[in-house]
Amino acid sequence: NLSAIAGSYCSTSPPVTLVGSPAGGVFKIDGNVATAINPATLTAGNHTLTYDYSTPVSNCSSSTSKPFTVHPTPTLAFTNVKDAYCLAGSPFTMQATPAGGTFTINNVPATQFNIATLGIGNHTVKYSYTSPEGCSNTLSKPVQIADKPTITFVDLNPLYCSDVTAFNLQATPSGGTFKVNNAPATQFNPSTLPSGTYTIDYIYTDPTDATCFNSATTQVEVKPAPDMVWLDVLDNYCVTDDVLVQPTVKITPPQGPGLAPTPPDLQFNPSIVGAGKRNLSFGFTDVITGCSRTITKEVTVHALPTVAFMDLADAYCQQSFVVPLKATPAGGAFTVDGLPATELNPRDYAAGDVLLVRYDYADAQSCANFTEKEVEITPANVFTPIAEELKICPQPTYWLEALTTAEEQAYKATGITPVYFWKHTTASVRRISITEPSQSGEYEVTIRDNAGCPIAQKSYVLKVNCEPRLFIPTAFTPNADSKNEKLQIFGGDFIKLDFKVYNRWGEVIYTARSLEEMWDGNVKGKPAPAGIYAWTATFENTLKRGEVVRRQGQFSLIR
C-alpha cells in the first residue's frame, strides 16, 4: 500500500521518508533502492516509486508502483529595477519574470517604486512567485537612492592674473559641460580676457540615467598682471666688450609705471665673465592686485670667431698664377698691405717684397676677429724651355711626357711635388696618351712647384703618321736634254722594296730594290717606246713592324 505518497513535489520540498504496508519491503526510485524521496537530489521531471514485499515464511511476493513528478523551483529576475536611482527620478511599476508574483519594498507590499516617497538611502525590493505546480521562490535586490550628484570644481582658483595662460576646465564627476559667461567652453584663458569677474557653470547628467543631473556655479576674477620689460641689456655680447652691463626692468602696474633698481647680482662685464650664457631673473608683486610676475632673460657672451686663411702659401714667385684669397668662415674682407683685395697677383710686386695679407671677419653677433700673414714674393725660377718636333706612330699608344718618372722623383726628393698644366687640357697629369693620327698638333706643358712657380716648360710639335712615304713621278723624258732623264723613286719609312714597271702586255720590263735605283727608259739596251706604263711597289712599313704594303700606279714616258 503506497497511499501516503503524493503525486508531485517541488525541488525545494523536504525529504519524505518512505513507509510501506506491510512493512519490511524494499523501495526503489527509478530502479534504485531508496529509503526516502528527496526532491532536491532528483532531477525535475517524472519518476516511478516501486515497493517490493516478500512474506518471510511462504516467500510469497508482491509489488506495487506509483508515479510522481518533481517540479523545478521557478527562476526569477527583475526586468526594470536597477541597483541605484537619483532622487529626481520618476515613479515606475516594478516588473519581473515570470509575471504574476508579488512585490515588497522594505517588506511592505507594493507594485510601484516611488523614488521621491522612498527617499535617500538603501532599500530592499523582493519579488515572490508561486508556479502553477505550487513551487515558490523569492528574489531580493538592494536598491540605493542617492541625492543629486555632488559637483566639485577641480584646481579652479577664485583669482587669476592676466599672465596665466590657458588651462583646461575640470570638475567631478567628469563628463559634463562648462560655460563661461553662458558661452560653451572647455578652457579658461586669463591671458586673453579683460580684467573682470567671470561666471563659470558646470552641468552634469549621468550618462546612464537622464534623471540624475546637477549643476554648479562659481565666479572667477581676472586681474591685470604687471607688465615688465628688460632695459639696458642685450641678448648677445662679445667677449671683447669691456663694459659694465646694468640691466633694469620697466614695470607698468595699475598704479603707474616705474623702474626697478638693478640688483647687483644681475650686473656683469662680458670681457670678465667670458664666453657662455647668463640667465637673468627678476620678480615683482603688485601691491594693489596681488598679482606677481617673474621675467627671465638669457644673455649670451659669444667667443670671437676663429678665422684662418685657406690655401695661402708663405711665398710665391713672380711667375705664379693669380691667387684667389680665401679664408674661413667665409664672408669677411681681405686687405693686402692695407688695400682691399680679393686676390693676390705676384706679378704686381717686385721680387723680395714681403706683403701683409689680412682677413677681417664679423659674425652674426658682430663679434669680430682677424688674422694676418706675411707672404714673400720670390724671384722667378730660371729654366730653359724645351721645344721638340716628334714624328711618331703609336703602337698602340705613345705616351707624351712632361717629365720622365725619374725626373719627377728627383723633384719630389727636394720637397717639390710637380703640378702639370697642359695647354690643351685641365687635367694635371705627368703624361698624356697619343693613340691616333688626329692627335697631331702642338702640345705645351708648364710644370710648376708647390707654390705655383714654373720650374720647367716643354712644347712639342707632334706628327702622328703610321703610313710610309712613297712617290712615283707621273712622267719622265729620257730624250738626252738633261732634264727628267730618269724615273726616280721617292719616299721613306719602308724597307724590302720590290718596284716593277710593266709594258702594255703586262711584261715586267724594269725592277728596282732601293731608292737609289733609277730607270733610264731603256729595255735590254734599247729605248722603250713613248707611252703609258704601269708600276707596282711592295715593301715593309718600318712604322708598323711586320706590315707589308702594296701600291700601284702609272706614268708616262715622253720622248
Task: Tell me how far apart the alpha carbons of residues 24 and 62 are, in angstroms, rounded to a whole number.
Answer: 12
User: pTM to 2 decimals?
Assistant: 0.46
Is a pLDDT exceeding 80 seen at residue 383? Answer: yes
Task: Tell me how far apart the alpha carbons of residues 314 and 375 are, in angstroms, rounded to a whole number.
Answer: 5
- pLDDT of res. 265: 85
Q: Would you place residue 59 in the very low, low, confident or very high pLDDT band (cuts 50, 70, 90)?
A: confident
- pLDDT of res. 218: 97
Would you call 518 exposed, middle or buried from its count of C-beta atoms within 10 A (0-12, 13-18, 19+)?
A: middle
- pLDDT of res. 89: 81
- pLDDT of res. 526: 93
Task: Tell me how far apart the alpha carbons of residues 470 and 409 are, in angstroms, rounded to a whole number.
Answer: 44
Q: Summarize pLDDT for 343-359 with one digit per residue, the tens.
A: 999 999 999 999 999 99
Is a pLDDT exceeding 90 seen at residue 465? Answer: no
More confident residue, 289 or 362: 362
Q: Which among 192, 194, 202 has a CA at the least distance from the CA of 156?
A: 202
Q: How many Cα neighbours within 13 Å face the side chain of 191?
A: 8
Least confident of 19-23, 340-344, 461-465: 19-23
Asked if 375 and 312 touch (Cβ cutoff 8 Å), the reply is: yes
Is a pLDDT exceeding 80 seen at residue 471? Answer: yes
At 40, is the secondary structure helix, strand, or coil? helix
Task: Tell me how far apart the alpha carbons of residues 125 and 103 are, in angstroms, rounded to a whole number.
Answer: 7
Q: Would you place residue 21 in the very low, low, confident or very high pLDDT band (cuts 50, 70, 90)?
A: confident
Average pLDDT, the chain: 91
> Side chain identity at 132, as an amino acid letter?
P
Query: What does 86-100 look like in DSSP terms, one character per residue?
Result: ETTPPPEE--EESSS
Asked if 188 and 208 touch (Cβ cutoff 8 Å), the reply is: no
- pLDDT of res. 355: 96
Is a pLDDT exceeding 70 seen at residue 231? Answer: yes
- pLDDT of res. 153: 96
Q: Summarize pLDDT for 87-115 with one digit per residue, the tens.
A: 878 899 999 999 999 999 999 999 999 99
Q: Summarize pLDDT for 36-48 with one digit per residue, the tens.
A: 999 999 999 999 9
- pLDDT of res. 118: 93
| Cell 527617499 found at | 119
Percentage helix, strand, coil, to 5, in the chain?
5, 50, 45
What are the residues facing 187 on neighbouring strands? 168
Least confident of 166-170, 325-329, 372-376, 396-400: 396-400
Q: Summarize pLDDT for 142-201 with one digit per residue, the tens.
A: 999 988 888 999 999 999 998 899 999 999 999 999 999 999 999 999 999 999 999 999
Alpha-helical segments (H) within 230-358: 270-273
Task: Tell me how far apart the alpha carbons of residues 157 and 150 are, in angstroms, rounded to a whole number.
Answer: 19
Write down the number of H helices and E strands in the chain.
3, 57
By residue count, the chain amounts to 559
**Mean pLDDT, range 397-407, rounded to an integer:** 92
> Which segments of 322-408 are extended strands (E)?
323-324, 326-328, 333-336, 339-341, 343-344, 354-362, 368-378, 386-392, 398-401
Cell of 495: 724597307
Least confident of 290-294, 419-423, 453-457: 290-294
- pLDDT of res. 462: 92
Q: Summarize pLDDT for 474-517 with one digit per residue, the tens.
A: 999 999 888 999 999 999 888 999 999 999 999 999 999 999 99
Percent of the chain with pLDDT over 70: 99
Is a pLDDT exceeding 90 seen at residue 522? Answer: yes
**Mean pLDDT, range 70-83, rounded to an integer:** 94
Is a pLDDT exceeding 70 seen at residue 255? Answer: no
Cell of 225: 598682471
Query: What does 50-87 look like in DSSP terms, one character per residue?
Result: EEEEE-TTT--EEEEEEEEEEEPPPP-EESS--SEEET
Cell of 472: 712615283
Task: Tell me how far apart the alpha carbons of residues 422 and 462 are, in angstroms, rounded to a whole number.
Answer: 14
- pLDDT of res. 360: 97
Burial profile 42-61: b = 16 or more Cβ within 10 angstroms, e = fewer: beeeebebbbebeeeeeeee
**Mean pLDDT, range 228-250, rounded to an integer:** 92
More confident residue, 15 or 452: 15
Is a pLDDT exceeding 80 seen at residue 2? Answer: no
How, if at all, do strands 386-392 and 454-464 pair?
parallel
Q: Which among 478, 469, 474 has a CA at the least distance from the CA of 519?
A: 478
| Cell 503525486 found at | 7
**Mean pLDDT, range 410-427, rounded to an integer:** 90
At 468, is the secondary structure helix, strand, or coil? coil
Task: Tell me how far apart the alpha carbons of residues 255 and 286 are, in angstroms, rounded to a whole number.
Answer: 9
Torsion of CA 176, 181, 187, 193, to 10 degrees: -170
